[in-house]
Structure 1
Amino acid sequence: MDSNLKQSDDNKFIPMTSISSGKGWQVRPDVYYYTNQIVNFVIIGSREHWVLVDAGMPKCADEILDLARSLFGEGARPKAIILTHGHFDHVGSLVGLLEAWDVPVYAHLYEFPFLTGKQAYPEPDTTVEGGMLAKISSIYPHEPINISGANLQVLPEDGTVPELPDWHWVFTPGHSPGQIALFREKDRTLISADAVITVKQDSFYKVLMQTQEIQGPPRYLTTDWTAAWESVKKLAALNPDLIIPGHGKYMAGEELRQGLQKLVQEFDTIAIPKHGKFVDGHEKPAS
């Protein structure tokens, strides 16, 4: 294992939770997701062969390791970890997991600067229109982690997903430069990361209670709203039957389809804030 693995310099426990924290849902026979405080990570597969999608909040590696043991037994380890992107709540426990597992990590090339210690994400925008969680977002880590050793690998250009032959990855930038979603055609299952979520992530009350509604990406960390809208259109065009978002509860069926259609049509009013440093001075994208 590479001894140079390093969490971000500003990595710290974030005192934030929801009524779903510590709970998991088996939404397909081989797809399980778990809410770690306010973010979801996904486990795909079975005891013999499974993959972890994302790595949860900071300081939660032991919780994730305990969950893996409870699901698959002592010595359980994934074949790989797939990262949808490198924000703190999706890689917060990654180094701790790699110290225990030493497995390959796959991500989009555009996320590599934030995963190899070379570049920090922009600081969260506390000026953005939104609720309390937007106003206190300055406490969220934004410095890069460093897993630049043998663990980190680039996702295949052809859209295939290592260790998951039935899935393909979809490029969904906007919230971060190299964000991806995962989609399985045979049962139309979508892991949407933060491109589409099902809770208004800047509202403290709605996050705490996990109030379900189709939303665009978290406002305080989204830097390219034109790309974010295009990513929503791309995911809606897949016509998913079930979605597991990065934040919020899973959603399925007609409620999901109608919600996605509305988000595509009204993205400028539902998702894009009226003001903020990544909005001010820029024209809102045309629908």
Structure 2
Amino acid sequence: MSSRRPRSVVSVAPGVVFVEGPVSNWVVLAEEDGVALIDAGYPADAGLVLDTVRWAGHDLDDLRRIYVTHGHVDHVGGIPGILERHPHVQVLAHADELDNVRGPERQQVRPAEIGGRLAAPRTLRWLARAIGSDALRPVTVPTARAFTAQDFAGRATTPFPAVGHTAGSTAYLLPAANAIVTGDAVISHHDTLPGSWQPRPRMITPFFTADQATALESARALPIPEIVLPGHGPAVHRVGSGWVPVTG
């Protein structure tokens, strides 16, 4: 069992468990033929991701696939550790995102590129948490492949383009749960943002994003149902004209 602990684990709907991890998030899905993950945290999170599959009531031998929102190390870093233990698991991403997922080079900001923003205490705290999560470890996922329409035939998961944060960023609609998994196309909070800000759908801090203008267009085009399961921050749901964290 991992020594790392999530910030929260929430059952959003039957078969849908959202995990707000130590620094980034993932989702555990019950599918018709087994279990799927959407994203898998940092390298240090591999054991915790598997723990959360068990906490969600599943057998690890039933883990079948990992859908990737985008190939940043805080979302794919746990995949190599998972594949070491469960090599049969498929890793699926948009074709335009495969280079980022497979690595080791990827379309991701480096500490040196953050520059003077590192002077902000909250940015330094985020960086310390990221490095403590093995953010600097080289990550490769050579078996990742491009998903096709057939991969989603008969499933309660539908990919939706969310490009801009990276070249092939993808959101995943979960119609039965009235939810969308957004990765970093839309977040609810982030360690680099003021702690006083209330969680709600918002853009991630711009220096993390490859093409901010395109990311804004993609975010505006996303279908936003009642529940948003973001790549950072708590899951949130609509209440009247506002948003509140999902609990339970």
| TM-score, structure 2 normalization | 0.79
Q: Please state how far the C-alpha of 1:168 moved relative to its aligned partner.
A: 1.0
Corresponding residue for 2:159? 169
Corresponding residue for 2:192? 202
Contact 1:84 1:179 in 2 (8 A): yes
Tell me whether 113-122 or 240-249 shows the greater mean CA deviation. 113-122
Corresponding residue for 2:207? 220
CA RMSD of aligned residues (A): 3.1
Residue 190 of structure 1 pairs with residue 180 of structure 2: yes
| TM-score, structure 1 normalization | 0.69
Contact 1:128 1:219 in 2 (8 A): no
CA distance in 2 between counterparts of 1:25 and 1:163 reads 27
Corresponding residue for 2:121? 132
Among 135, 140, 152, the alignment partner of 1:146 is: 140
Corresponding residue for 2:147? 155
Contact 1:200 1:213 in 2 (8 A): no
Corresponding residue for 2:101? 115
* Aligned positions, number: 231
Unaligned runs of 5+ residues in structure 1 are 1-16, 260-287
Q: Please state how far the C-alpha of 1:90 moved relative to its aligned partner.
A: 0.5
Tell me whether 133-142 or 239-248 shows the greater mean CA deviation. 133-142
Aligned CA distance change for structure 1 residues 249 and 122 (closer, same or farther; 3 Å)? closer
Residue 82 of structure 1 pairs with residue 67 of structure 2: yes
Contact 1:188 1:241 in 2 (8 A): yes
% identical aligned pairs: 23
Matches within 5 A, 1:1-287: 21-45=6-30, 49-72=34-57, 74-102=59-87, 103-117=89-103, 119-124=105-110, 125-127=113-115, 131-134=120-123, 137=127, 141=135, 145-148=139-142, 151-156=143-148, 158=149, 161-162=151-152, 165-203=155-193, 206=195, 211-235=198-222, 238-254=223-239
CA distance in 1 between counterparts of 2:139 and 2:7 reads 25
Corresponding residue for 1:263? none
Unaligned runs of 5+ residues in structure 2 are 244-248
Report the residue type matching 2:205 in the other structure.
P
Q: Please state how far the C-alpha of 1:120 moved relative to its aligned partner.
A: 3.0
Q: Please state how far the C-alpha of 1:123 moved relative to its aligned partner.
A: 3.1
Report the residue type matching 2:11 in the other structure.
Q
Contact 2:43 2:81 in 1 (8 A): no
Contact 1:183 1:190 in 2 (8 A): yes
CA distance in 2 between counterparts of 1:121 and 1:128 reads 21
CA distance in 2 between counterparts of 1:233 and 1:43 reads 26
Choose 1 or 2 for highest CA Rg. 1
